[in-house]
Chain A
């Protein structure tokens, strides 16, 4: 009796502790997607076109700042705001590229592993263990040494390296789903294994997959930006927030806006994805624990 009562009380207090609607997160994501979609319209200047006569103009609120360049200009006289707005496209492209790449590998392997079971399952899970003991940055070093650093190398690296987490979670879901009646009925009806996996089980784990993707995308943005910062990712003159930070770092003593604003752009985006991801998990899948 006491137990029952306690449970009920806990359920009532939960929303108070959890986040109800992530207004801050939605706001951040709103800004981000506005920048991605309307980059050509909003950006006041061409992000690649510099004007050496107007190099290192500080942001508008500083003494020498001008309204023409709200967030100032960099060493080559390129407008920082325009570059940040266009940079959003690059970071979305890379992060979504990574997630789609390893997500599809992970989901496929997880489905096969969970559905087939037995030896196939064992081999795939052992492979996942092996994969997890190889840090992604190491693989990036190898691939970048051999193929040269680029956005493609980053997507390839994280694409190859990221699948084990997905595979494990999908496998777990698949294990419990395959005992359910609708899967058994599908088997009786003579559906092929492939069909059961992809059109009966997969739609039922879509929720989990979407939650994972939203939660991971923030981390992936940070990771890929730090790789570009180190010079292992996108190369100049493309607009990438990590790259802008790396370029601005040399002038930190007298042009601090060159490192402040690209970083803030990353923080706003990642915050948006993280808050929204937490909220999605809370409403779609309350039983899954915070990692």
Chain B
């Protein structure tokens, strides 16, 4: 078990290192000259030289790379051009908003997805199953950015029931979190339905029923525990996916003051240090989440440990 965890941690660390390297080389070796981008139009060649010196861009690439790694290790990822503050600090100031919205959407998706999925599997072809399948299909086929815009159009512009932008009251959460949880709900419903169907067909469920275990326990304890492994991967994947992918789109539509909107603004303002720190931070979150899932797996399913 310890060996397994150690191996996973090493792999995670290697992944982060690899991403740091890739990020460095993509941003440095691209055709865009960062100094030219940062300078105002009326800058003199002297300014350009100063700036090049300041960022150490005149040094050989390998020296730059080791400096970058050293600074990254200390948590220094450069300074934001727009805010003139450390890029990491700028990111962390906006992160709580993303985390709050992500958590709300995550809880909604897991609750709705799991319960609809389980009920659908227990009573196939029932009313709820039909609704569940329809919701799953809709969630897979409706683009979240369009749903967001349509929600704004309907509830914000036409009916004027809900605020269309920003963060403040509880009402501000409704549309963005609905929009964000649409796809995850579909995914969780489909997956939990199919793995529950498999589990309910198995011999141990038949055995439990023969023993006279109450149906409620059969479903939740015997069947669900075994059906939960594939669902768990997806659920954790969804959490990091929500914070990364959907956050950018949904925050952009609803002007939510989180990191997704920050990175869009920084991208359009060519504030590359912030974009860069966003990339690294997100990878860090995803890798950590994957690590946690791997460890939880090993606890739930002993077979994985001994592979």
Contact = CB atoms under 8 A, between A and B. Distances in A.
B213 interface: no
A147 B153 contact: no
A245 B146 contact: yes
Interface in A198-214: none
Interface string B187-225: 000110111001001000000000000000000000000
Nearest to B195: A289
Contacts of B35: none
A17 B125 CA distance: 6
A231 interface: yes
A249 B165 CA distance: 13
B33 to A, nearest CB: 11
A231 B245 contact: no
Interface string B117-142: 00000001100000000000100111
B149 to A, nearest CB: 5
B26 A226 contact: no
Given A259-B150, A271-B137, A137 B248 contact: yes
A146 B30 contact: yes
Interface in A179-233: 218-219, 222, 225-226, 229-232
Contacts of A218: 140-141
Contacts of B286: 133-135
B253 to A, nearest CB: 8
B190 A290 contact: yes
Interface stretch (A47-55, A106-114, A161-169, A262-270): A262-270
Given A16-B125, A135-B245, A146-B30, A259 B149 contact: yes
A134 B252 contact: no
B62 interface: no
A256 B153 CA distance: 7
B302 interface: no
Nearest to A249: B149
A8 interface: no
A143 interface: yes
A257 B29 CA distance: 43
Contacts of B51: none
Contact of B145 (A134, A138, A245): A245
A130 interface: yes
Contacts of A134: 19, 22, 283, 286
B77 interface: no
A62 interface: no
B141 A274 contact: yes
B287 interface: yes
B30 A260 contact: no
A254 to B, nearest CB: 9
Given A144-B267, A145-B27, A146-B31, A260 B150 contact: yes
Contacts of B150: 259-260, 263
A145 B283 contact: no
Contacts of B26: 142-143, 146
B106 interface: no
Interface residues of B, number: 55
B143 A133 contact: no
B145 to A, nearest CB: 5
Contacts of A242: 145
A259 B31 CA distance: 35
B103 interface: no
B23 interface: yes
Contact of B146 (A17, A133, A143, A263): A263
Interface string B231-250: 00000000011001100110
Contacts of A138: 244, 278-279, 282-283
A60 interface: no
B249 to A, nearest CB: 5
A232 to B, nearest CB: 8
B248 A147 contact: no
B149 A147 contact: no
B73 interface: no
A252 interface: yes
B290 A145 contact: no
Given A16-B125, A133-B283, A271-B137, A141 B278 contact: yes
A10 interface: yes
Contact of B290 (A133, A219, A271, A289): A133
A149 B133 CA distance: 37
Contact of A263 (B22, B23, B149, B283): B149
A252 B283 contact: no
Contacts of A145: 27, 30, 32, 267, 270, 272, 275
Interface in B166-195: 190-191, 193-195
B268 A231 contact: yes
A138 B247 CA distance: 12
Contact of A289 (B27, B194, B240, B252): B194
Interface in A149-177: none
B279 A274 contact: no
29 contacts: A126-B11, A130-B15, A130-B18, A133-B19, A134-B19, A134-B283, A135-B240, A135-B245, A135-B283, A141-B267, A141-B275, A145-B32, A145-B272, A146-B26, A146-B30, A146-B31, A147-B31, A222-B141, A225-B143, A230-B145, A230-B249, A230-B252, A249-B149, A263-B146, A267-B142, A267-B143, A270-B141, A274-B141, A289-B198
Please list the 5 inter-chain residue pairs (A to B) with the smallest Cβ-Cβ separation, ordered nearest first.
A146-B30, A263-B146, A222-B143, A290-B194, A271-B141
